[in-house]
Amino acid sequence: MFFTPSTIAAAAIFLTATSVSAGRRLGKRCTGTISSLDDVSAAVECTTVTINAFTVPAGEQFLLDLADGTTVNVEGDVTFAFSEWAGPLFEIEGSGVTFNGNGYTFNGNGPSYWDGLGSNGGVTKPKFMKVKNSGVFKNLIVLNSPEQAFSIGNDDPLTIDGITVDDSAGDATNSASDGLPAGHNTDGFDVSASNVVIQNSIVKNQDDCLAINKGSNITFQNNQCSGGHGISIGSITSDVTVSDINILNNEVSNSVNCLRIKMDSDASDSTVSDITYTGNVCTTITGYGVLIDQSYPDTLGTPGTGVILSNVEFTSGNTVSVSSGADEVDVNCGSGACTGTWNWSGLTTSGGDAGTINYSGITGYPNSGTVTTTKTTTTTSKTSTTTTTTKATTTTTTTKATTTTSTTATSTATGTVAEYYQCGGTLYSTVKTFTII
């Protein structure tokens, strides 16, 4: 076969076009500068992008659809003007991207939206940061999220490093929040992706610090969480796989929960496996220290059986201290839905009620290995915008006799603790009545 110069040239053009389209696109060796949304389309043609201080107009999205290998440097604060819409306010896409916030701030203008309802009603609130790039995203302050701060949804490797999510202003009430904290559903990191590392970050909010909804090979390490609902896997819905999750060396304080796996009671055909907790320290936990519950959105209600949970391990150095009246550990598995032997020798708890464990496959933790039949139940009534949950705790009196010593000691305390939870995007108000004898 003979090739003419014209056929060789045509083949070369075809191969070049194919190689570019198979990836994303090749950028130009230039620096693009963004000082308004009008600058974005030209700037993203370059492999270096600089973001200066500016305000994103109300109801518009700041979208960076970047060329392969682009480096983005933030050189000023970016503020997003108020508008009722779904968002996200900011979205980034690209392969092998390095985004460096350089300590500057993206301000979501949360107080203009917050009404204590989050996504349950009231003002329509946009999600803030949608991250779909691979590479590195680092050194940014995310201030006053209207709702969820980060939504992560790309399976190519991504490292998020040195982020501060500060929604602490949402702890206060305002004229629209009816006595509740004004911020709600302000999740720090919602992950529906694989091959993600989130590290060295700070989250101050009113909901989950981390919520892993699906994905594998996810590491959450050396982070600080306060004010919210702790570190969560879930809620797990139907047809979802979560596996190979490492929760390492994090600090959780002043939160409703510390470490939680929440699975929808009506979910089916889902699996959660190989969850490892190491070196996590939790203090001032007001609800539940460790909560594994297959009855979501209820808490410790009737568990479902459609999510198979296996290999949940506490390997070393996990210390959970809860407040008086809170539960240290609760495990609420549906029949046959929790499997295997779970080594919990690396978990130490203190400060509150022991809680209830209904799965006998746990080893190495005090009170584990024997199923406790006493269970706290939850009754839930809902309206279209709010939900009220009453949690009635049954007190069990246990008499223990020995052949050498007879000791009787009685100390009784009663009280009521009001707590607020986010369940499946719905606001729950829980009244926890307890009697300690």
Active site (catalytic) residues: 207, 229
Beta strands 387-392 and 377-382 are antiparallel
| Residues in CB range of 177: below 8 A, 6 or more apart | 114, 115, 116, 117
How far is it, in rounded angstroms, from Cα 366 to Cα 378?
Answer: 25
> 200 and 222 in contact (C-beta within 8 Å)?
yes
**Which amino acid is residue 396, in one-letter code?**
T
Task: Give Dmax over CA atoms of the chain in angstroms.
Answer: 103
How far is it, in rounded angstroms, from Cα 391 to Cα 38?
Answer: 53
- The set of long-range contacts for 363-372, using a CB threshold of 8 Å and a minimum separation of 24, is 364/314, 365/314, 365/329, 367/329, 368/344
H helix runs in 128-217, sequence order? none
DSSP one-letter code for 13 = H
| 74 closest CA partner among 49, 97, 56, 94 | 49
End-to-end CA distance of the chain: give it in Å, rounded.
93
**Which amino acid is residue 92, in one-letter code?**
I
H helix runs in 23-92, sequence order? 40-43
| 337 closest CA partner among 295, 294, 274, 276 | 294
At 104, list the tokens. Answer: 């500057």
DSSP one-letter code for 249 = S
